[in-house]
Chain A
Amino acid sequence: MSRQLNAHRTDGVKKNVWVEFSKLAADYKAVNLGQGFPDFSPPRFIQEAFCKAVSGGPSMHQYTRAFGHPPLVKSLAKFFSRIVGHEIDPFEDILVTVGAYQALFSACQALVDEGDEVIIIEPFFDCYRPMVVMAGGKAVYVPLRPKKESGAVLSSGDWVLSAEELASKITPRTKAIIINTPNNPLGKVYKTEELQMIADLCIKHDLLCISDEVYEWLTYDEAKHVKIASLPGMWDRTITIGSAGKTFSATGWKVGWAIGSAHVMKHIQTIHQNTVYDCATAAQEAVAHGFDREYELFGTPESYFQQLPDILQHKRKKLALCLESVGLQPIMPEGGYFMIADISSVKMDINDESTKDEAYDFRFVKWLTKEKGLATIPVSAFYSPEHSKEFNKYIRFCFVKEDSTLDAAADILRKLSMK
């Protein structure tokens, strides 16, 4: 074929950190603190709900409503209306997707055109960039930066956005901003005033806001998750994305959603009906039951949305202590699944010809996986090509693992004698 075989939209988006590093972890049978999924089971009530759905009538195994299984969209509407402070229409304001990943993709496809600019805050979950690029848009980056006045940068709360810097990135072509709170990989939980700053700019410049809130229930210490869509003037211009996988520790179910005002959501629904059409029925039925249960138990100690962060708070501390004890400097996350650690003080002889042209953190992670059997993720993967060199001395650990996994990781780290 004389013309290019593949469509140009797939140029420049061929590399993928998850494909690369998940394979590496599997090939070397490493203790896996890399990709973000629990190695413990989902809560019993959600597993039971799934089994009940599977053994339900034939309709559980056939097509359901395209934009979301009616029991699920009703449960989501009821649950989130209370939190957002806005009456959410289950059929007009919600789209159920194949994980939050597909919600992000569909939002970009629906709303980003050739030449539109989309602001992405660094570090960012890596898929935002290729999704904007595939939609013909231009990604414009603004970094979180450690506050200068604090001595050691010890918490994700110490990384902040400059209002001036953010405002300077906005042009007449700016269509949207993507925010992620709690943030992956840093763990930052944006405070109300930080979100208000972003909201003010969105309103002033008439921007859309895509808010990735998959880790919304996982906040630690005194951090509180705030939904930017609940701020004045923001409901009409915000698409809030959530994940059953992260909510109920069942990442393999791939059930997510986008919630927003109908006049924006209808376009995302149009994308959906022309891409996958609908999502698997039984898992949606089970997630609906999960939300109904949590609606009743909300705010009580029996709520999974209370129990899970309590369990993870302890694991977060365990991992942080271990990293500190071996000379790695963790940045304590206020929320989410991950902790990043500064590896610049580590002096290891990485003798791997195959990685010699790669960024330092990529080399370190591959060496740690292959030679020491511990899988993590290099943090420069969460930065734009323009800025990744400035941030190539951090690696990301997932602490949402059984204590035995964390112990195994600790053993490996201690043997490295990095101190």
Chain B
Amino acid sequence: MNVTQQVLKSIKSARRSVYINCRRKFCASQCTMTSRHTHSKRIEGLDKNVWVAFTSVAADPSIVNLGQGYPDIPPPSYVKEALAKAASVDKINQYTRGFGHPSLVKALAQVYGKVYGRHIDPFKDILVTVGGYGSLFSTMQALVEEGDEVIIIEPFFDCYVPMVRMAGAKPVLIPLRLKPGKKTITSADWFLDPEELSSKFNSKTKAIIINTPNNPIGKIFSRDELQMIADLCIKHDTLCFSDEVYEWLIYRGNQHIKIATLPGMWDRTITIGSAGKTFSVTGWKLGWSIGPEHLMKHLQTVMQNTLYTCPTPLQEAVAQGLNLNYDLMGQPECYFTSLAEELQGKRDRMATIMQEAGMTPVIPEGGYFMLVDVTSLNQDLSHMGDDEAYDYKFVKWMIKEKVN
């Protein structure tokens, strides 16, 4: 089978999985003798997933993959070495403390204590989870339920909506809007309208989810913007779930601010971080939630009833990596700084490539991603069928027809 045929086959299977909802239900009732093997209501309508659909398509090695967010450059050698070393210690191959391996939670408390400028209790204020994803899930399950509304800022990392829905609550969406009329667009040109945001809060609002730096735009919320959100949270007694997995990937001229450090916010904020994005090891699937004990204890309850504990050797290795970099914080050798420096060059190079190809990039202030406006290419995609959004068709066209 040649490459084009392979890609076509992959796309076919992706289309199958994206449209699986209706077809699978029909097939299920035909294939089984029983009608009682029905799924729970909580997953109704949640079976589509963009990563499951598109990662299988992009898995063909002949496709240049700038899709899912993971590096193809190696992680720092000291974290890999730390992992190999950890796995050679007998007890590190066995269960550790449920809410987080002691050396890891202590390392996190130390690093973030410095960043937050406050004492963080390693055992009460921290939960180690299966990636930032697992932190989001634990937070939602612990604190959100039927009758609640959760404000989500668009564009959003796609899992926020299904997680809110799985928790039985209602997502309330508010878009970032683009300031018109600018020639070179950066992620800072996307902003929240204060009145529009305020109108979304009501007595049912349990929480607002923010993501800074934002995926996919790369926006870093400014202090004023965070203060505006904080004021509303305090006024309406709302929680704030702050997804900060890209917190170290801040490009020159920008500053990452933790909403939890604003007055009145520590007590109502859960901040989410990721070892995967911090150390370029997404395949380690370790993350953490940090917040006040009276909130964190509920996330810990969820943890003890869902997966109980995270893998030990990975936690030990991340602890080593954090300790090493804690000593280097503020210096150029610190990975938290050096990675951003390295990615700045790649960001700028990608922006140039896009511009030379006739597209309009949105230069991100932070994070892993760059949005690109392809309108000016005026690409005719009518041959791709008309049952999907233009951008879905464009992406599939690029995979299928731009393989060389």
Contacts and interface: CB of A to CB of B under 8 A. Distances in A.
Contact of A105 (B284, B301, B306): B306
B45 to A, nearest CB: 10
Given A5-B294, A98-B130, A113-B40, A10 B285 contact: no
Contacts of A361: none
A61 B75 contact: yes
Nearest to A108: B40
Interface centre among A131, A208, A266 (most CB of B within 10 A): A266
B237 A62 contact: no
Given A58-B73, A63-B68, A113-B40, A37 B94 contact: yes
Interface in A317-368: none
A206 B34 contact: yes
B403 interface: no
B227 interface: no
B145 A9 contact: yes
B384 interface: no
A276 B159 CA distance: 10
Contacts of B71: 58, 62
Interface stretch (B1-9, B85-93, B187-195): B85-93
B307 A280 contact: no
A211 to B, nearest CB: 15
Interface of B: 24, 27-28, 31-34, 36-37, 39-43, 46-47, 49, 51-52, 55-56, 68, 70-75, 80, 83-84, 87-88, 90-99, 130-131, 133-134, 137, 141-145, 159, 162-163, 166-167, 237, 280-286, 294-295, 298, 301-302, 304-314
Nearest to B83: A54
A277 B39 contact: no
B311 A254 contact: yes
B39 A131 contact: no
A236 B98 CA distance: 34
B75 A42 contact: no
A130 B307 CA distance: 12
B84 to A, nearest CB: 5
A112 interface: yes
Nearest to A402: B90
A404 to B, nearest CB: 13
B62 to A, nearest CB: 16
A392 B311 CA distance: 33
23 contacts: A5-B298, A16-B305, A19-B304, A40-B90, A47-B88, A51-B88, A54-B80, A58-B74, A60-B283, A63-B55, A65-B56, A66-B52, A110-B40, A236-B32, A251-B93, A252-B313, A254-B307, A263-B37, A264-B37, A276-B134, A279-B285, A282-B284, A283-B311
Contact of A273 (B31, B52, B56, B97): B52
Given A55-B80, A62-B72, A63-B70, A274 B39 contact: no
Contact of B72 (A22, A58, A273, A274): A58
Nearest to A261: B32
In the A-B complex, the 5 residue pairs with the smallest Cβ-Cβ separation, listed nearest first, are A252-B312, A281-B283, A267-B39, A7-B145, A6-B298
Interface of A: 1-2, 5-10, 13-14, 16, 18-19, 22-23, 35, 37-42, 47, 50-51, 54-55, 58-67, 97-99, 101-102, 105, 109-114, 127, 130-131, 134-135, 175, 206-208, 236-237, 249-255, 261, 263-264, 266-267, 270-271, 273-283
A101 B349 CA distance: 45
A63 B133 CA distance: 12
A6 B143 contact: yes
Nearest to A16: B304
Given A66-B51, A273-B49, A111 B305 contact: no
B301 to A, nearest CB: 5
